[in-house]
Structure 1
Amino acid sequence: MRLGVCYYPEHWPESLWQQDADMMRELGLKIVRLGESSWAKLEPTPAHYNWDWLDRIVQILHTAGMEIVLGTPTAAPPPWLIQQDLKKFSEVGNGQHRKIGSRRHFCANNSAYQEHTRKIITALADRYGKHPAVIGWQIDNEFGTDPTAVCYCNECVEKFRSWLQGRYRNLETLNESWGTVLWSQSFSDWSEIFPPNQMSAENNPSHVLDYARFSSDSWIAYCNLQADILRTYTHQQFITHSINHDSTHVDAFQLSKMLDFVAWNSFPTGDAEKLSLLLYAPWDSVPETAYDVGDPYITGFFHAWTHGVKNAPFWIMEQQCGHINWGEINPGLRSGTVRLWTWHAIACGAEAVMYYHWRASRFAQEQFQSGILTHDGSPDMGYQDIISFLPEGPVLQQLKEEALSSSVAILTRYEDLWALEDQPHRIGFDYRRLLFAYYRVLTALGINVDLLPEDSDISEYRLVLAPLLYLNTSTVVNHLEAYVARGGTLLLGARSGMKTESNLVVEDSLPGLLRGLVGASVGGWQSLPDDVHFSIRSEIPGLGGEVGFWIEAIHPDENEAVNALVRYMGGPLAGKIAMTEHAYGAGSVYYLGFYPLYDQLKAILKYLSHSVRNNNTHDLPDGVIVKQRGNHRIAFNFTRNEKTFVLDDKLITLPPRDFRFFLRDWS
């Protein structure tokens, strides 16, 4: 198993470097990440490079037997660069510009910044691209974090117009695609188009979506700029990027195409309160977990999203190993927590875990951010935890080499997220919250699930869930039709098929292009106040109660084999169908016309799992997670209490904040 650490030698006296390298080796760490925030140290003045310090630490680590991941330093440009060339760099809107003193205060489209990027990346790659200790490169760090992905500067204005010309070719097509006939906004010249900010009233949703696409493409192009240089100068070194799940402005699926694998930075107690408010609906009962381990459903959700970006193993490039310093509460850790998080990451598909960071920071914005060592250099909790699970290394390695076993996939698309974020039509209708609800229920049932882009190969999955296919294209629909026709089972959620790819309401009856799959039309949709609910009657075991928030009526088409599974018993849709099953080719398509509560979704997904002969479902206690990799199962207890429960007729007992490792038969 590959364990490593993020190290900032530029923060510490050189007299400590050899000692640090020796301690890393003795601790069993194998990999060190360097340099991702060191541009001012590498190039203290324009075109004058200072390699001596980096040469020395690379050699010290190499001699100690460590492998090195070099980070490109472009996330944190030095002040001289901004003062010299980027007087008006990244614009946040209303004529305001990001100032010097933090990070990510630049625009991906700024031509001067791109030129400085070419120079520093070329110099780095030329010097270290064939160094035997350097195994790979991390491009930048967390595009879009803070958030900083969207810019409205003059260069973005011009490049947005060029991007639109490439997409639509002519203004007639753009006007039609955006529906500019409304409010007399038809464009007659490309120069009339600006980014969708500083508007006097609501923005055009089609305009907003295209600017989101353009902004994402800008960062992907900037990443490509660096990747192309690295591939030219390096030899047998991987290229990756650590994506940021807090920011959804960069399409990780598209970004990953140029990368060998993806990584993310996992801080389970960081922003725990904010993420809980984002991902749990107000009416949800938040599951019991220990206060100091984070929410394993949220952490697991982001692990699954990262794995799904390339449907392949990923790295944790920054793993919390102590206090963090940006949350609302920032609890300390107990002995065993870092071990718990490491095993959970591996169980979810990680193949390397890098701890953040070696020595606790003393400086600036990252004061109070813990490391493996404390500020004074003594071992902290993470150090003791790593020592405690070093004997488990062979088991971790064996687990890492076994594939994740998932028979269920959830389809996702950033463009659907962006469109719904701009125009939710009902407060609280959040795309990520909806995906998370499905992930959480499946996890509570002990079912491994993959989160995949809509165009993925889904032929091997027994059950495919599309909670919200909002923007539809014939390509995606044809892909799903082929899957179902060959015997697949597909669930489509409410509001699917409502919009065209350009974010206009479809001309046809809902669900638009999906109607053939559903075998029915959808109408009468209702966005309901929080205190309005209507009862349902169901053919699905365990599914009942009341529904609210969002409801739709389903009207089966004539001569289609459509089975009504759920009906509304009250309200404006009383007697109407709320959920259907449609026989399509050798498979089945289910349409869910309401926003389900947790217990309702649990009944539905258990029913669908059994319908595809996946009878290995469990009602796990809150805070208990069971993951399967190959022939092994790992059961985690993220609560503060001992948990005893029965799985496959086996009595399992888990201590608090701990886990157990089993073979498939629980032996």
Structure 2
Amino acid sequence: MKFGVQYYPSHWPESQWAADIAKMKEVGVKFVRMGDLSWSAFEPAPGEFDFSWMERAIAMMGDAGIKTILCTCSRTPPPWLYRKHPEILPKDQNGVTRYQDGRYAVAMSHPVFQREALRIDQAMVDYFAGNENIISWQIDNEIGCHNDCYGDHSMSQFHAYLKEKYKSPNALNEAWGEHFWAFQIQEFEDVPRPFENPHIQLEYRRFLSSLNVDFGRSRYRMMKAADPDKPVTTNFQNLYWDHTDYHALSNEIDVNGMNHYPARTPELALDCLRGDKGEVWVLEQQSHLAAIDSPTGWTRLWAWMAIAHGASALIFFRWRQCRYGCEQFGDGLLPHSNREGRLFKEFAKMGAELEVLADVIEPTKPDSKVALTYSYESRWAVKASVYGEEIDPVYEAVDLHKSLAKVVTSVDCLDPRADLSKYRLVIAPRLWLIDDAVANNLRSFVEAGGTLCLTAGSGIVDEVGKCFAEPRPGKLCDLAGIWCSDFVGTKGLELVLESEVDTRLSGLRASVAADEINIDGAEVVAKHGNGWRKGLPAITRNRVGKGQVIYVGVRLDTSEMLPLISWLTEEAGIEQEFDRVEGVTVYERVCDDYRLLFLLNWTDEAKAMSIGSGWADAASGEAVGEEVEIGATDMRVLKR
């Protein structure tokens, strides 16, 4: 278990480093993450490299028993590079050049940026390769953030990308639809910048994502060539960002990394960004955010929540608040004055706890029977449509996940093309875009005995964003046993469901969006109970092979998800193991020899919860009764 902090040696006098390191050692810090955003310090003038100050910092950390995760830095160039090559600045869709005073103001496709970025990264990797105090490499920071570009070089590469994918203009015309609004290209260069055409928008987003993935792949190969025995990671961002397909980027690194700022990103992020690797390194764990007031004890609970979801590294961002720049009022365990306050004391307490528990936690991972499938392509295709942001599948996924967390103790969140064979229940919220690989994967899962739940707005378009000729949900129409004649936004309307199959589904309210469902072999589980839809199907079930497909043709309101989830898990044969207590979240990690139960109490009063027999306190080894108490704003880790 890697417990530590982000540290920026270049932000502080070198005379202060020793005192910082001594205090880190006192509170159990064993790892630091350093190096990102440091190009101007590594190369203060063109061709004049100075890595010695970082080498000294790494050595001082190492002497104190603190190992380094070292980040490359090329996506934040120094001012002198912009002065020499202003053409590397990205342009927006209107051709306006972005200012350089923020982070990541680079056109990833520009050959000058690519050359210069490769130069600094190669120099850095070559210099530090083999350093025994470096335990891992990190590829830059937040790859993909803020570096979208629509300039001439980006468009030229986009046209080359289209040529490689579609081979001929006629193939592209056929795929995207000939002659609509007089669209029929003769040359790939005829494809304009993306504005309204949904096919161009979708494909350009894929192209931009591919640039970010290619950047990660090239750095991974560079790091492995120079330092083959060290794992490579990078940090994925807030769940709501969709600039990069993190499923694809995950394939280019050894360990998934992520930022965890729970005050502004949902808990689902921990499962989604963990992906199918079973563990995740939290490379930025929230300490403090400007303008967000976190209650006493929550900084520690948020960090324990990350561990309960499978984190095997927890690096708090950051050691001390910066005194200047855009983040001078932001993150930091210590304030500018260096005085130890509430947040630092919570951090120190957690460090002491991990001294005892880290070895117990390390062999375990979440073991889920339920998976959510999460598709970046569906998000991109929805946003390119006339419906836009409002029906982005991520919001429904978040609501479903919140309710799942009240029923099961772990959930996986995967690409819909991933191996689903271990799960009993797979929920695919608004799988707007479906290709052959996705359809075949879901079909195999159901036929083998799985329960698949699709939601309103599934199977609308194919891989290029073109509506299916067959009825919706497209390639899954026969699997679902229904066909949908319309999908509409219902914002401002309240739909109410009725069910004779399960009373929990009666009275549920829905809004935002709904399908007009026609039965073609499925049975009706719930109907609409009001308005012109009264009596029409709202939720259906179709038995296929050894499994079944449940189609939820409405966007249930956030508060109405739990009854649906309770019914779905029962349908899939998943029993709720613990009787939940309001305000306490419950998680499990397992290994071959034992299970760990994490109980987190988010309220300001002690709570008692029944957990059954056989559990012991994971720290002390003392047996606990069938009912266990969790202190106010506190947590317990139990072992069986």
Which interval holds the TM-score relative to the shorter structure?
A: over 0.9
Match of 1:21 in 2: 21
SS of residue paired to 2:405: helix
Is the counterpart of residue 472 in structure 1 residue 434 in structure 2? Answer: yes
Match of 1:361 in 2: 322
Match of 1:196 in 2: 194
Match of 1:314 in 2: 280
User: Offset of 1:332 from its aligned partner?
Assistant: 5.4
Q: 1:657 aligns with which of 629, 633, 638?
A: 633
In 2, the alpha carbon distance for the partners of 1:110 and 1:625 equals: 47
Unaligned stretches of 5+ residues in structure 2: 614-625
8 A contact 2:434–2:462 mirrored in 1: yes
Is the counterpart of residue 552 in structure 1 residue 515 in structure 2? Answer: yes
Match of 1:579 in 2: 539
In 2, the alpha carbon distance for the partners of 1:478 and 1:240 equals: 31
In 2, the alpha carbon distance for the partners of 1:553 and 1:619 equals: 37
In 1, the alpha carbon distance for the partners of 2:319 and 2:457 equals: 47
Is the counterpart of residue 216 in structure 1 residue 209 in structure 2? Answer: yes
In 1, the alpha carbon distance for the partners of 2:386 and 2:410 equals: 29
Aligned length: 621
Aligned residue identity for 2:589:
R
Q: 2:504 aligns with which of 519, 542, 564?
A: 542
8 A contact 1:509–1:521 mirrored in 2: yes
User: Offset of 1:195 from its aligned partner?
Assistant: 2.0
Match of 1:284 in 2: none
Match of 1:237 in 2: 230
In 1, the alpha carbon distance for the partners of 2:331 and 2:466 equals: 48
Of 12-21 and 571-580, the range deviating more from structure 2: 571-580
Q: 2:166 aligns with which of 152, 165, 168?
A: 168
Match of 2:619 in 1: none
In 2, the alpha carbon distance for the partners of 1:547 and 1:389 equals: 42
In 2, the alpha carbon distance for the partners of 1:619 and 1:467 equals: 27
Aligned residue identity for 2:548:
S
In 1, the alpha carbon distance for the partners of 2:298 and 2:87 equals: 46
Is the counterpart of residue 422 in structure 1 residue 345 in structure 2? Answer: no
User: Offset of 1:51 from its aligned partner?
Assistant: 2.1
Q: 2:347 aligns with which of 373, 386, 398?
A: 386
8 A contact 1:86–1:113 mirrored in 2: no
Q: Deviations over 1:357-388 (max 9, x none)?
A: 12221111111234233323333334322332
In 2, the alpha carbon distance for the partners of 1:368 and 1:25 equals: 25
User: Offset of 1:524 from its aligned partner?
Assistant: 4.1
Q: Deviations over 1:218-268 (max 9, x none)?
A: 111122222222222113112111111242111101011110111112223
SS of residue paired to 1:316: strand
8 A contact 1:540–1:603 mirrored in 2: no
Q: Deviations over 1:389-425 (max 9, x none)?
A: 3442232431232120210001111000111123252
Q: CA separation of 1:426/1:541 partners in 2, compared to 1, >3 Å: closer, same or farther?
A: farther
Match of 1:494 in 2: 456
User: Offset of 1:639 from its aligned partner?
Assistant: 3.1
SS of residue paired to 2:332: coil
In 2, the alpha carbon distance for the partners of 1:88 and 1:116 equals: 10
Of 421-430 and 64-73, the range deviating more from structure 2: 421-430
8 A contact 2:298–2:602 mirrored in 1: no
Match of 1:460 in 2: 422
In 1, the alpha carbon distance for the partners of 2:107 and 2:18 equals: 38
In 2, the alpha carbon distance for the partners of 1:175 and 1:619 equals: 57
Match of 2:256 in 1: 262
Is the counterpart of residue 250 in structure 1 residue 244 in structure 2? Answer: yes
In 1, the alpha carbon distance for the partners of 2:259 and 2:454 equals: 31
In 1, the alpha carbon distance for the partners of 2:73 and 2:328 equals: 21
SS of residue paired to 2:3: strand
Match of 1:521 in 2: 483
In 2, the alpha carbon distance for the partners of 1:358 and 1:534 equals: 51
Match of 2:312 in 1: 351
Q: 1:342 aligns with which of 303, 321, 329?
A: 303
In 2, the alpha carbon distance for the partners of 1:144 and 1:624 equals: 36
Query: Percent of pairs identical after alignment?
Result: 28
In 2, the alpha carbon distance for the partners of 1:70 and 1:105 equals: 22
Match of 2:289 in 1: 324
SS of residue paired to 2:467: coil
In 1, the alpha carbon distance for the partners of 2:220 and 2:491 equals: 49
In 2, the alpha carbon distance for the partners of 1:427 and 1:208 equals: 14
Match of 1:226 in 2: 219
In 1, the alpha carbon distance for the partners of 2:576 and 2:494 equals: 36
Match of 2:616 in 1: none
SS of residue paired to 2:50: coil
Q: Deviations over 1:190-232 (max 9, x none)?
A: 22112214xxxxx111110001000100111122222222222
Which structure 2 residues correspond to residues 144-159 of structure 1 after superposition, within 5 A?
144-145=144-145, 148-159=146-157
8 A contact 1:129–1:235 mirrored in 2: no
In 2, the alpha carbon distance for the partners of 1:243 and 1:534 equals: 38
In 2, the alpha carbon distance for the partners of 1:568 and 1:144 equals: 43
8 A contact 2:579–2:610 mirrored in 1: no
Q: CA separation of 1:534/1:359 partners in 2, compared to 1, >3 Å: closer, same or farther?
A: closer
Q: CA separation of 1:427/1:17 partners in 2, compared to 1, >3 Å: closer, same or farther?
A: closer
In 2, the alpha carbon distance for the partners of 1:218 and 1:427 equals: 24
Aligned residue identity for 2:204:
Y
Q: Deviations over 1:80-115 (max 9, x none)?
A: 011112335211232211222221111111111111
Match of 2:620 in 1: none
Q: Deviations over 1:99-132 (max 9, x none)?
A: 2222111111111111111111111111111111
Aligned residue identity for 2:517:
I
Q: CA separation of 1:446/1:479 partners in 2, compared to 1, >3 Å: closer, same or farther?
A: closer
SS of residue paired to 2:533: coil
User: Offset of 1:653 from its aligned partner?
Assistant: 4.1
Of 643-652 and 203-212, the range deviating more from structure 2: 643-652
User: Offset of 1:23 from its aligned partner?
Assistant: 2.1
Which structure 2 residues correspond to residues 54-73 of structure 1 after superposition, within 5 A?
54-73=54-73
In 2, the alpha carbon distance for the partners of 1:660 and 1:525 equals: 46
Q: CA separation of 1:125/1:88 partners in 2, compared to 1, >3 Å: closer, same or farther?
A: closer
User: Offset of 1:636 from its aligned partner?
Assistant: 1.2
User: Offset of 1:468 from its aligned partner?
Assistant: 1.6
Match of 2:562 in 1: 602
Aligned residue identity for 1:583:
R
User: Offset of 1:651 from its aligned partner?
Assistant: 4.4
Q: 2:588 aligns with which of 624, 628, 635?
A: 628
Which structure 2 residues correspond to residues 588-599 of structure 1 after superposition, within 5 A?
588-599=548-559
User: Offset of 1:612 from its aligned partner?
Assistant: 2.4
Match of 1:97 in 2: 97
TM-score normalised by L of structure 2 = 0.92
Q: CA separation of 1:116/1:441 partners in 2, compared to 1, >3 Å: closer, same or farther?
A: same
User: Offset of 1:36 from its aligned partner?
Assistant: 0.5
Q: 1:206 aligns with which of 187, 199, 224?
A: 199
Is the counterpart of residue 445 in structure 1 residue 407 in structure 2? Answer: yes
In 2, the alpha carbon distance for the partners of 1:97 and 1:345 equals: 39
Q: CA separation of 1:552/1:330 partners in 2, compared to 1, >3 Å: closer, same or farther?
A: closer
8 A contact 2:125–2:226 mirrored in 1: yes
SS of residue paired to 2:101: coil
User: Offset of 1:178 from its aligned partner?
Assistant: 1.5
In 2, the alpha carbon distance for the partners of 1:478 and 1:27 equals: 51
8 A contact 1:3–1:29 mirrored in 2: yes
